[in-house]
Each structure stands twice: as C-alpha cells, then as structure tokens.
Amino acid sequence: MLPKVTFAHLPTQVEALPRLTKLLGGPQLIIKRDDQTGLAFGGNKTRKLEYLMGAALEEGAAMVCTTGAAQSNHCRQTAAAAARCGIECTLVLVGPEPDQPTANLFLDQLLGAKIIWTDQTRRDRTLEKVFQEAGEAGMNPYLIPYGGSNAIGAYAYYQAFQELREQLDNNMPDWIVFASSSGGTQAGLLAGVLSIDSKVKILGISVDEPTALLKDHILTIIEDLNSQAALGIRFKEGNILVNDDYTGKGYGVINDRDIDAIHSFGETEGILLDPVYTGRAAGGMLDLIRKGVFKRDEQVLFWHTGGTPALFADKYLPFIY
C-alpha cells in the first residue's frame, strides 16, 4: 500500500442523468462526480494528491513544486493540498502573467502558492531550476509531475475504480468516458478494469494530445504502476482507447461543441462543466452518441474530473455566456 494523506471527500456520488438521456434518446447516462472531491472546489487531481502528498511527507519534504497552464486545475489543487499539509508550494505556470488574476489563478494566490511564470519552451527547465534551488536551500523539495500523472497518481484511480465497483455492486456500465490529457487518470482506471478482467470500455476523449502520443503516455504510466504497486495485471496497447477527434484548435481554445456541451449539462441536469477538460470531453461524448457509436441500450458513465473554477476565467466568459 502506498503512503497516503486523507483529505478527499470520498466516495464521490454516482448520479443518473435522466433529462440528458431523454434529450438524446439514449443510451442511459450516469455520472461520477469527481468535481466534488472537496479540496478547493475539487477535481480528479485531489485523489492523486492524497498519494503524491503522502509520498512527499514520507520523504520529509518541506515544499512541493509542479507546473501547468495559467488556469491549471492541477496546480490549484496542489496548492490547496500543500496548504492542508502545512508545507510550501511553488507553481511554474506557462503564459504571460495577467494584470488581474481570475478563476484558478486567483485561487492559487489565495492558497498561498508562490508563482513563477515561464513559456512553454522553458517550462521543464524552469521547473528543474526551481527544484534544484529549493534543494540547495535545504527544503528537501518533492517534484510533482505535470498533471500529477505518474504511477503514484494513477494508483489513486486504480482505487477509484474499486470504489465505483462497490457503489454499483458490480453492475458496471458498458462505457466510462472522460477527459484525458496527461494520462494518469486513464492509466489508473484501465488498471482497475484489467485487474478484474472487466468488460467495461475505458474511453479517454483527448483534450489536446494526438492519439499515438497520449497512448504512449498512458502505456508508460500503467507499466510503472503495474510494477510499483505489484498489481500483476496483463495488458496490451490495444486496451487503451483514445479519441482525438475533438481537440479542435488545441488546449484551452474553446469551440462551439464545447460550449454546447456546457450548456446541455447545465440546462438539463444543473451540472457545471469546465471549458477546457470536461466541456471538451462531454462535447465529444454527445457527438459520439448522436453518431450512434454507443448503443441505445448501453449504459455510459461520464466521469466528471472537475475544473469548475475555469468557467470564471476572463478568457472564457465572453464565449460561454
């Protein structure tokens, strides 16, 4: 068992989506509410951070550092987890520093994180420099990877799949669909499926990465997870299902399909999606439903990975509303 700090509100609820199901004429839609994991507006990274912070504290870290976009949900939750654990947090964020912080960035500052700005080409070098300087200062820093997506983070979603099995009393859906980007969530869920030889199909809707690259990320993580956690699962690349048809013009560039999905979930079920991850994944899922990819008598679970604060970022408000 990997070391763990407990702060997530678990288990998250599984809810039916009857009005959205009726609007689409099937399949039966349900949702797993990992937007409600309880740490600074929640999200899927909270599960991962229970184990990542557990590892950091076990190593005696006085500081964690990580990286992401200016409106990173992962960075917001990392800052909150560090505050909860009483250690410092430095975030290396990509992009120009805005004049006025909003949404996730505002929360990063409210949660006490130190923020360093860089561009995409220098992101990894800047993060490494922050890590080295913290080490030289005696902070014994712990480096959390982009998206919290490594074997430790993925283990949280291996456990999340077991949680779902218990909630549904093993009456599992035919499909689990969600936003996939850095690969950790998908690797963990797939490991859970393979551990019991389940027939559930795990479909990641890519937010930004081409299928081949994202599959490589997931394969690397699941191999590491299988080894480190001694899961003993057997897998092959064909188990990894990724759809990159909905990446549009790239990460964080909202489009009409994303907006339609956000409004559809809000207006039929009172559920808020975000403009970068869940809005894009839901947009892809709704399009696949309309194209008949899922059978009308199947059950599809949409795993809500959070991100709600990004709804209030200046760059998205004019398009969503």
Is the CATH number 3.40.50.2300 carried by domain 14-43+153-320? no
Q: Taking Cα atoms as reference points, which of 231, 259, 233, 234 lies closest to residue 246?
A: 259
Tell me the pLDDT tens digit for each residue of 25-36. Answer: 999 999 999 999
% of residues, the chain, pLDDT over 90? 95
The DSSP string of 140-200 is --EEPPGGG-SHHHHHHHHHHHHHHHHHTTT---SEEEEEESSSHHHHHHHHHHHHTT---
pLDDT (0 to 100) of residue 234 = 86
pLDDT at 275 exceeding the cut of 80: yes
What pLDDT does residue 236 have?
Answer: 75
Note the pLDDT tens digit of each residue in 76-130.
Answer: 999 999 999 999 999 999 999 999 999 999 999 999 999 999 999 999 999 999 9
Sheet holding 28-33, edge to edge: 14-16, 28-33, 299-304, 175-180, 201-206, 241-243
Euclidean distance between CA atoms 224 and 163, whole angstroms: 22
Mean pLDDT score of the chain: 96
pLDDT of residue 197 exceeding 90: no
What's the whole-number mean pLDDT along residues 140-158?
97
Residue 153 has pLDDT above 80, yes or no: yes
pLDDT at 177: 98
Q: Write the DSSP symbol of residue 312.
A: G
pLDDT band at 320 (very low <50, low <70, confident <90, very high): confident
Second-level CATH architecture of 45-148: 3-Layer(aba) Sandwich (3.40)
Structure tokens at 62: 């006085």
In the chain, list all ranges with CATH 3.40.50.1100.
14-43+153-320, 45-148
Q: Please say if the pLDDT value at position 291 is more than 80.
A: yes
Query: Is 72 one of the catalytic residues?
Result: yes
Whether residue 19 is predicted with pLDDT greater than 90 in this model: the reply is: yes
Per-residue pLDDT reduced to its tens digit, 205-258: 999 999 999 999 999 999 999 999 999 998 877 899 999 999 999 999 999 999
Flag whether pLDDT at 43 surpasses 80: yes
What are the pLDDT digits (tens) for 154-182? 999 999 999 999 999 999 999 999 999 99
Contacts of 2 (CB under 8 A, 6+ apart): 51, 54, 55, 152, 155, 228, 229
Answer for the pair 246, 253: CB distance below 8 angstroms, yes or no. Answer: no
What CA–CA distance (Å, rounded) separates 174 from 284? 17
72, 180, 182, 264: the catalytic one is 72
Mean pLDDT of 139-155: 97
pLDDT value at residue 278: 98
Check: CB of residue 306 under 8 Å from CB of residue 43: yes
